[in-house]
Amino acid sequence: MYLTQGLRRAAQLKPKGASTVFLDRRRTWRETVERVARVAGGLRGLGVAKGDRVAILALNSDRYFELMYAIPWLGAAMVPLNTRLATPEIEYILDDSGSAVIFVDGAMKHHAEALAGKLPALKHLIYLDDDATPSGMTAYETLAKAAPVDDVGAGGDTLAGLFYTGGTTGRSKGVMLSHNNLVWNAMNAVAGIGFDGETTYIHSGPMFHLADGASSFGVTLVGGIHAFVPRFDALDCLRTIEREKVTHAQYVPTMINMICNHPRLAEFDISTLGLILYGASPMPEGVLRKALEVMPNCRFMHAYGMTEAAPILTLLPTRYTTLDGPYAGRIKSCGLAAHTAEIKIVGPDRKEVPRGASGEIAAKGPMIMLGYWNKPQETAAVLEDGWYYSGDAGTMDDEGFVFIVDRLKDMIISGGENVYSAEVENAISLLPGVAEVAVIGIPDARWGETIHAIVVPRAGANLTAEAVIEHCRTQIAGYKLPRSVAFRDQPLPLSGAGKVLKRDLREPFWKGFEKRVN
């Protein structure tokens, strides 16, 4: 399987059919495939070859979408970068991946300018927007005017992308996904979500995130239409849904809540919106009731997955996203195994436990990653005999419904973003006056979980919560910043093996909750 097949099929079946819509730009599938071939030609002119890595640091757009095909067209690997990262984090990923080219837009160019000359492997900076191209960069449309080149036909287990996710050691890990991984995942999306040739999908979640990527490749497979907004904004989404007659969207519950409670919601006809895929956190009952009230034509589907699974592992059929009737009660489940996925719940010995018992969620299938880039030990720790061991604790009932109950890995999910505690702890530890630090997730009604830091100051140090947070701001992305900081004059509690007992630190905050994730 190869990613560009879906693009070529769409252009073959619907050459004059709409492909992408962004701002005042509208293209057909024939135009899109021609531009992809030309952008690939421009990249080849810069020396990009099979196996090279090409980074993208930009907000959503039709050009971002073109790059998701132009890069694999050459047999190179895309490296989508989280637009919320701090410059030091971006520098690490570019260096670790050895990216030879980076595409940036106006909102992100300051990162590229700050890193100028610091990364020997980075040879070319390409500017995506139409305003004046910054000094030292090449305009995107210059590449789009290059002579087209033939698709090299890369596919199978060839590396298609490096998708960086937080690390338990404080450094991001590059998840290696092949053409096979991404195409099988796209097919799971088509089969499970129900994309077809009449689909118009709005890209309002970030395109660097594979939750959106699954839909990017899936909607292309069926020749649907891609509509883009630069970033999530409830009003912009409402306008786009009405104007483009959007049928499918993907949001975290917090975003759904913002749309449902927007003061101008009633001004827009969003009756074409038939399905919203949601994930990262369960749907609060109040949000669901409001959504069903104001969007009666819309169905809601819960998805669970992770970058290492490209990303879909389970989907909850829409009939179970209800609070009443015979299907009520399943809404707390994250769903059933995707069509090509096998799921099991295992104990510490990695043997399957009885149904209903809690254990680690393990998954197998053609969408499971190749491994972590240049990290064989970390890869071996989670991949065994084709199974990926997720670090999430869950249960499975007698009908195969999966329920998340806790996290075995030290990770917090806040507003749909994964935050590894170690990354925040490393940043805080660099602040003079910090003797010990532990970071935990605590429940929050709006964001699901928020980041809470517990700091033991050195003797005589005069630390404040504001100083800790401002220090972190220079080291890590804004969404990883602690939202609260507590100080204690006693050492952090340790296990016999010398590990911080975070469960003890979390206990006061989670008292009264039936599970330790929110």
**What residues does CATH 3.40.50.12780 cover in the chain?**
23-178
Strand residues in 318-465 grouped as ranges (E): 336-337, 342-346, 359-364, 371-372, 383-384, 387-396, 402-407, 411-414, 417-420, 434-444, 448-457
CATH 2.30.38.10 assigned to domain 337-407? The reply is yes
Q: Which of 470, 388, 386, 482 lies closest to 431, judged by CA? A: 470
Rounded-to-integer distance, Cα 85 and Cα 93, Å: 10
Task: Please check whether residue 40 is in contact with residue 149, taking contact to mean a CB–CB distance below 8 angstroms.
Answer: yes
Q: What's the CATH architecture for 411-510?
A: 2-Layer Sandwich (3.30)
Rounded-to-integer distance, Cα 172 and Cα 198, Å: 38
| pLDDT by 10-residue block (mean), the chain, 518 residues | 97 98 97 98 97 98 98 98 93 97 97 92 96 96 98 97 80 95 97 97 94 93 98 96 98 88 95 93 78 93 95 96 87 94 97 95 98 96 96 93 82 83 86 90 88 92 94 92 94 75 88 76
What's the pLDDT score for residue 42? 98
Residue in this structure with the two tokens 């809470």, named with its chain if needed: 452
What's the pLDDT score for residue 287? 84
Helix (H) or strand (E) holding 124: strand 124-127
Q: Is cis: bond before 311, omega within 30 of 0? A: yes
What's the pLDDT score for residue 169? 61
Any residues with CB less than 8 A from the CB of 183 and at least 6 apart, and which?
1, 2, 3, 5, 6, 217
- The strand pair at 53-57 and 275-278 is best described as unpaired
pLDDT tens figures, 194-238: 999 999 999 999 999 998 988 999 999 999 999 999 999 999 999
DSSP-assigned beta bridge partners for residue 18:
28
Structure tokens at 111: 């990162």
**What residues does CATH 3.30.300.30 cover in the chain?**
411-510
**Domain covering 23-178, topology:** Rossmann fold (3.40.50)
Sheet holding 312-316, edge to edge: 25-28, 18-22, 225-228, 200-203, 248-251, 275-278, 299-305, 312-316, 336-337
Strand residues in 184-295 grouped as ranges (E): 200-203, 225-228, 248-251, 275-278
Any residues with CB less than 8 A from the CB of 468 and at least 6 apart, and which?
428, 431, 434, 453, 455, 482, 485
Structure tokens at 135: 């000094």
Helices 29-45 and 62-73, axial angle in degrees (round to 10): 60
Instruction: Measure Cα distances from 72 to 14, 27, 50, 53, 131 in Å.
Output: 22, 21, 8, 10, 27
What's the pLDDT score for residue 496? 65
**What residues does CATH 2.30.38.10 cover in the chain?**
337-407
